[in-house]
């Protein structure tokens, strides 16, 4: 057998690889590779391109963890414009029956990461659709996270899902100062409405915010 002939025969079983059927790669595996490459590229470069803007990778990964938690709804998840929602739900059903199966947990995480990537794409359409399908508000995406959320993440959410006109949570002076400094750093005009949007409240209704902003105005 010549060296060229050896190349086309399997070393283990001797089958002719030229006539061996190649199993088609499933769609979600291909998309998964695309997601991995996107995250690896962002980590290597130190930024991600979202909505045609460079975003610090630290902010994106923080936002990713928050969206991951919001997407993890099991069989209750509604994501109509995502092609693999049913595959995710099948994994969730399996986990209910076989909670010890580690491979199912890995697959579940795999699908959730793909869905997070999906929400970052075609901004704000995919995010708006997800929020609408699951009846999520701005507050759903930004509250009850330990350590708070970056101003970029809050801006990312508010750009797609308007802040509701409610009195809302208690706001601290540090939050308002942080919002002002962030807006200054990206060259945005400092006014009551812009600062309120970054903090996550209504600029003329939230009394706590209005009191702090007036105190800090100079």
- The pLDDT value recorded for residue 146 is 55
- The pLDDT value recorded for residue 2 is 47
Q: What is the pLDDT confidence band of residue 4, given thresholds at 50, 70 and 90?
A: very low
- The pLDDT value recorded for residue 204 is 82
For residue 68, is pLDDT > 90? Answer: yes
For residue 44, is pLDDT > 90? Answer: yes
- The pLDDT value recorded for residue 33 is 87
Distances (CA, A) of 153 to 31, 51, 159, 173: 24, 13, 10, 19
Of 165, 189, 82, give the one whose Cα is nearest residue 126: 82
Q: What is the pLDDT confidence band of residue 49, given thresholds at 50, 70 and 90?
A: very high
Q: What is the pLDDT confidence band of residue 3, given thresholds at 50, 70 and 90?
A: very low
Handedness of CA 160, 165, 171, 173 (dihedral sign): positive
- The pLDDT value recorded for residue 213 is 92
pTM, 2 dp: 0.67
pLDDT digits (tens, 9 = 90+) for 5-16: 455 677 677 777
Q: What is the pLDDT confidence band of residue 139, given thresholds at 50, 70 and 90?
A: confident
**SS3 state of residue 104:** helix
For residue 38, is pLDDT > 50? Answer: yes
Residues 133, 80: contact at Cβ < 8 Å? yes
HSE value, Cβ hemisphere, 13 Å, CA-based, for 161: 24
Q: What is the pLDDT confidence band of residue 69, given thresholds at 50, 70 and 90?
A: very high
pLDDT digits (tens, 9 = 90+) for 89-129: 999 988 887 765 677 888 899 999 999 999 999 999 999 99
Segment 28-55 shows an average pLDDT of 89
Instruction: Please state, for a pLDDT cut of 70, what percent of the chain lies above it.
Output: 83
């Amino acid at each position: 057998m010549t060296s060229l002939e050896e190349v086309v025969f399997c070393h283990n079983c001797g089958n002719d690889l030229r006539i061996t059927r190649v199993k088609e790669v499933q769609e979600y595996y291909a998309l998964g590779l695309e997601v991995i490459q996107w995250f690896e590229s962002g980590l290597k470069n130190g930024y991600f391109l979202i909505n045609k803007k460079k975003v610090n990778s630290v902010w994106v990964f923080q936002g990713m963890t928050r969206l991951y938690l919001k997407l993890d709804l099991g069989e209750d998840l509604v994501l109509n414009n995502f092609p693999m929602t049913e595959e995710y739900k099948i994994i969730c059903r399996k986990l209910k029956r076989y909670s010890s199966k580690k491979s199912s947990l890995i697959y579940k995480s795999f699908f959730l990461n793909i869905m997070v990537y999906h929400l970052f794409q075609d901004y704000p359409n995919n995010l708006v659709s997800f929020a609408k399908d699951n009846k999520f508000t701005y507050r759903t995406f930004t509250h009850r996270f330990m350590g708070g959320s970056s101003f970029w993440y809050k801006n990312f959410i508010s750009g797609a899902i308007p802040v509701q006109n409610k009195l809302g949570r208690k706001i601290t002076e540090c939050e308002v100062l942080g919002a002002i400094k962030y807006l200054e750093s990206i060259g945005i005009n400092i006014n009551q409405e812009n600062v309120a949007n970054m903090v996550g409240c209504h600029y003329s209704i939230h009394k706590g915010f209005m009191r702090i902003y007036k105190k800090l105005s100079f």
